[in-house]
Structure 1
Amino acid sequence: MLGVLLILAPRGIPARWLGLVLMLPMFLNTPGSPAPNTLRMIIFDVGQGLAVAVQTHDHALLFDTGPDFSGDADSGNRILVPALRALGIDRLDGLILSHDDLDHTGGTTSVMQAMPIDWVTSSLPDSSPLLRNFPRQAIQEMKGSRHCTDGDHWLWDGVRFDILHPAAGADTSIKPHDNDLSCVLRISLGEQHILIVGDIEKKSEQRLLDNHAEQLPASLLVVPHHGSKTSSTPDFVAAVLPDYAVFTTGYRNRYGHPKEEVVQRYADSGAELLRSDEDGAILVEMNAQGLSVERYRKTHQHYWTHQVHEQH
């Protein structure tokens, strides 16, 4: 009941997000860890930002930590930590921070304070205040921290993970335009593939086309840069040709994401479109035979959900 009451709170109240977390087990309806050779992924509704949890039978990964909200409220303590615990995750094997933007790293400290993390990989410069200010306890427990680099890969419970970008030796000190340094993660299981690309823009998309064209086709793509015009070139969309294209955007965000021409480009490619600002959190389950997608708000439609949509 508390979850329902919090969801009813106005959109500006950070605790409203906790309502979704309290109801998350009902949404998942999948207690326990995924079976071997199976993957579960949650694309969180964190507003204008990105946070994705990936769970295999014995391992858990978090890709980005969403935005900082205000004061002591951030995606980590308001959404991710409660949600991960609801999923039965009390430690992370890995944390990927795609690049040094606050809408992708805002919840990092809260997550690190709440649970052990074996390793961190990122494209953040060594001088990043976030890296320098990692909680002392987290650093003591961590097995390692390094830059994500094209060619990195690992295998968990039959699921393969590959880093496709940035290239080895990339200059991570670039600011303020570091979107093109975003870590790009490909997750593979049989003939099924998921691509999470952070905020890469046209330059990095072209590098992927030049160097990894055969690894770009994907069952599901988390659309680059929230659907900005800086990204999703026609050639990139045609190469990935996703069955599902997921836009992670904030409700009525000030950037106007996703841009209509970008949305149309994916629609024209035949992709089924999902948006976190309209669909809420998105649950993905994948095995070697296929991939299924569940939208939180479609699964849990209530009268207040319709009222929100009428305000668009």
Structure 2
Amino acid sequence: MSKSAKGIIAIIIILLVICILVYPALSDEVSDNEGSKEYEVTFINGNAEYFRINIDPAHPTIGNNMPSAPSSENGMIFVGWNTKTDGSGNNVTSDTQINKDITVFAVWTIEEENDRTGFTSTSSQSYKIDDKTVEIVLGDLYPIPKVEEVTVIVYDPETGKQCRGSLGGSEYTLSFDNVRVSFQDTDNDGLMDSNEKLTFEADNGLTAGIWNIELDYENYKNGNNQFHFHIFENGEESYPENVRVNFLDVGQADSALIFTSDNKTILIDAGVPLNKKTEYAPKLIEQLKNYHVEKIDAMILTHPDYDHIAGAEAVLDEYDVLSVYMCKKTAKSATYTNLLSAIDQEGCEKHIGDFSAGDYLNLSTTENFRVLSVDSKTKNDANSASIVIRMSCESHSFLFTGDAPDNVEMEMLQSYSDELDTDILKVGHHGSKSSSSSDFLQAVTPSISVISCGKDNSYGHPHEEALERLNTYSEEVVRIDISGAYSYTSSGKIID
């Protein structure tokens, strides 16, 4: 055999050895590299990413990396995670083996009423003034779970005070200022059941007005039940509903005049345009006279900005004002300082920051006035301090938002999402783009949105972005700079 042939054979043998000994090692190295690639699992809830994890192929199940279930909201129950948005794909659980990057979606279903373990609901009932006892069946609206304890919150229409206490265990009676609340455990099981009752009684009869009762069931999400019952004046069984709300024309400012069914007169804001007090304060008074105002039972100044308070001193000079409500937020302006002096000189009942979000203001025995926001905790500016009030009648509701911006709207969505639905909305901050967010308007669903702003104002109010959102979610948008003063009655009648 020639030397060249021997050389070729030697090379072939060497190559074979390399293939036998080295290639498996290379193959193992490639396999290890591929095995080290992690797979990504993305969890989507609604339209937003909820969670994301990486899975090691050596341990291909999700296991303890599975995210907690999203919180149930608005009567929806979380079913699970699925590879398709409608739940028609493969279910994904902690035991699912992952061998590629995937996206999974939260699947929800509507909660059946008879499966509820917590709820928010409202009941309205009417009682005569000479009734000394009112009974509320715990399960009037929805069956409640058997619970050991319930927190009772009573808003007394006479004092305007909030009284709170717990019933359960061996404590079956609460005594507040002028009313007793008791629970009778009819089946003697130590639990509060749907068919059992709370009794409200007062020796001299319950005070005339709207009694607002809230029952909170501990350890149950949204375990809250609201009851409203009405005690009428002079033993009447009902009253003629006759509410009128007048959005005044005060230029680039805010003022709304309310006449309630029990003949109370309430003014929300008394603003005039910046540096135009001399011109517009007389116009404000003239409009009040045109509406035949004789006195002001309550003046609510939502926050201390000039365009919400600068006409208030003129109102105090012209009328007897029985009470004033203001937020805690102050201002260093002479307008604000002079207003405080005028309030003290008037000698009216003064409420400055002595109420909170969730409180009912004792303004009327026929209509409900509930504070949904005041002195926001998220921001310290004057607009965020705005008093936001929802007035509810038997047939209609009105929401007055001051200059509340979108951060306050978000707070209200989180705390009062079930109470925001309103017929007439006084648009926040004159139609600024920083208010009237889509989420907020979607919850309010106003039939009519009223924007108080001045013609050709220097702020550009209402902003186009806000107008677009308002037109999307409102049946009608009214602009005071175009229509002038605008009035609406609870019967649905619009007055030019």
Aligning the two structures, in what range does the TM-score lie when normalised by the shorter sequence?
0.7 to 0.9
Whichever residue aligns with residue 95 of structure 1, its letter is M
C-alpha change, 1:215 and 1:139, in structure 2 (3 Å) is farther
- Decide which of 113, 133, 150 is 2:357's aligned counterpart: 150
For 2:263, the equivalent position in structure 1 comes to 58
- Decide which of 465, 472, 486 is 1:261's aligned counterpart: 465
For 2:85, the equivalent position in structure 1 comes to none
- Residues in 2 aligned to 1:65 and 1:85: alpha-carbon distance in whole angstroms: 14
Shift of the alpha carbon at 1:88? 2.2
Are 1:160 and 2:368 matched, yes or no?
yes
Q: 1:80-91, aligned counterparts within 5 Å?
A: 80-91=284-295
Q: How many residues align?
A: 253
Are 1:234 and 2:435 matched, yes or no?
no
- Decide which of 48, 70, 90 is 2:252's aligned counterpart: 48
C-alpha change, 1:127 and 1:43, in structure 2 (3 Å) is closer
Are 1:92 and 2:296 matched, yes or no?
yes
Shift of the alpha carbon at 1:214? 1.2
Shift of the alpha carbon at 1:160? 1.2
Shift of the alpha carbon at 1:124? 4.7
Contact 1:60 1:93 in 2 (8 A): yes
Whichever residue aligns with residue 268 of structure 2, its letter is F
C-alpha change, 1:232 and 1:88, in structure 2 (3 Å) is same
1:229-264 Cα deviation digits (max 9, x unpaired): 111111001000100011111101111111122112
Higher relative helix content: 1
- More divergent stretch after superposition (232-241 vs 266-275): 266-275
Contact 2:323 2:348 in 1 (8 A): yes
- Residues in 2 aligned to 1:138 and 1:115: alpha-carbon distance in whole angstroms: 14
- Residues in 1 aligned to 2:363 and 2:486: alpha-carbon distance in whole angstroms: 24
- Residues in 2 aligned to 1:61 and 1:100: alpha-carbon distance in whole angstroms: 18
C-alpha change, 1:252 and 1:140, in structure 2 (3 Å) is closer
Shift of the alpha carbon at 1:157? 4.4
Shift of the alpha carbon at 1:36? 4.1
Shift of the alpha carbon at 1:138? 5.5
For 1:293, the equivalent position in structure 2 comes to 494
Contact 2:421 2:444 in 1 (8 A): yes
Contact 2:271 2:309 in 1 (8 A): yes
Whichever residue aligns with residue 219 of structure 1, its letter is D
For 1:244, the equivalent position in structure 2 comes to 448
- Residues in 2 aligned to 1:135 and 1:103: alpha-carbon distance in whole angstroms: 19
- Residues in 1 aligned to 2:273 and 2:467: alpha-carbon distance in whole angstroms: 26
- Residues in 1 aligned to 2:465 and 2:453: alpha-carbon distance in whole angstroms: 15
- Decide which of 313, 331, 335 is 1:109's aligned counterpart: 313
Q: 1:1-312, aligned counterparts within 5 Å?
A: 36-56=240-260, 57-68=262-273, 70=275, 73-76=278-281, 78-125=282-329, 129-130=334-335, 132-133=337-338, 134-136=340-342, 139-147=345-353, 148-153=355-360, 154=362, 156-166=364-374, 174=380, 177-286=381-490, 290-294=491-495, 296=496
Shift of the alpha carbon at 1:271? 2.1
- Residues in 2 aligned to 1:269 and 1:137: alpha-carbon distance in whole angstroms: 39
Shift of the alpha carbon at 1:125? 3.2
Contact 1:113 1:135 in 2 (8 A): no
- Residues in 2 aligned to 1:228 and 1:106: alpha-carbon distance in whole angstroms: 20
- Residues in 1 aligned to 2:299 and 2:268: alpha-carbon distance in whole angstroms: 6
For CA contacts below 8 A with separation 6 or more, give which structure has more relative contact order: 1
1:51-94 Cα deviation digits (max 9, x unpaired): 00001242111100122564761533x22222222222121111
Shift of the alpha carbon at 1:99? 0.8
Shift of the alpha carbon at 1:149? 2.5
- Residues in 2 aligned to 1:192 and 1:88: alpha-carbon distance in whole angstroms: 24
Give SS of 2:243's match.
Answer: strand
Whichever residue aligns with residue 161 of structure 1, its letter is F
Shift of the alpha carbon at 1:171? 9.5
Whichever residue aligns with residue 139 of structure 1, its letter is Q
Shift of the alpha carbon at 1:137? 7.5
Larger radius of gyration between Structure 1 and Structure 2? 2
1:163-184 Cα deviation digits (max 9, x unpaired): 111169x599x4xx31111000
Moved over 6 A (4+): none
- Residues in 1 aligned to 2:268 and 2:429: alpha-carbon distance in whole angstroms: 14
Contact 1:248 1:275 in 2 (8 A): yes
- Residues in 1 aligned to 2:417 and 2:276: alpha-carbon distance in whole angstroms: 43
C-alpha change, 1:257 and 1:70, in structure 2 (3 Å) is closer
Give SS of 2:322's match.
Answer: strand
Contact 1:227 1:257 in 2 (8 A): yes
What TM-score, normalized to structure 1?
0.74
Contact 1:249 1:276 in 2 (8 A): yes
What TM-score, normalized to structure 2?
0.48
Whichever residue aligns with residue 368 of structure 2, its letter is R
Contact 1:42 1:53 in 2 (8 A): yes
C-alpha change, 1:272 and 1:72, in structure 2 (3 Å) is closer
Kindly report the root-mean-square deviation, in angstroms, between the aligned alpha carbons of the 2 structures: 2.4
Q: Percent identity?
A: 27
Give SS of 1:117's match.
Answer: coil
- Residues in 1 aligned to 2:468 and 2:415: alpha-carbon distance in whole angstroms: 27
